[in-house]
Amino acid sequence: MKFQATPLAGAYLIEPALRADERGFFARVFCVDEFAEHGLCAQWKQANIAYNKFKGITRGMHYQHSPNAEVKLVRCTRGSVFDAMIDMRPASATYRQWFGAELSEANQAMLYIPEGFAHGYQVLQDDSELHYMVSALYAPDSEAGVRWNDPSVNIDWPLNSSVQLSEKDEQWALLE
């Protein structure tokens, strides 16, 4: 695997090393030793999938407060999404900065999202699916969020019209 540090402290874009031939390919998408070598979480408590029927669905920006803060390892297994994260750690040098990348069935890339980061994504293709590993169990009392289009963060989403949000995601507060 190729671990590329993002501009946000502790966050990585990870590309599996594909071994391809005429039959297809094989790739490792997790190895406890490789993650440990990079000082990354290698203990997962939950695995989730999210299926999205339509282009334009936007989910996020979600995170959990301590003591239930979570690390996420996100991969798009079908279709494509623009996946984004915001550093919500007040003591971080990259506090309130964001990073995003296209994750797709074609590129097989993953995002490693540290504790204290808000996370969300926008579906770029109908019938897209994500798989993600999470280091902490879902704890409703620790749940928090930031509005997907908060102007103080100014994420450069690929789609700004035809966006479909859940009622809950429409209600997240602005940071300012």
List residues with catalytic annotation: 62, 132
- Structure tokens, 130: 């994500």
Q: Which residue in 81, 62, 80, 82 sits closest to 72, CA to CA?
A: 62
On the 0-12 / 13-18 / 19+ scale of CB atoms within 10 A, 96 is middle
Q: How far apart are CA 141 and CA 3, in angstroms?
A: 33
Q: How far apart are CA 12 and CA 148, in angstroms?
A: 21
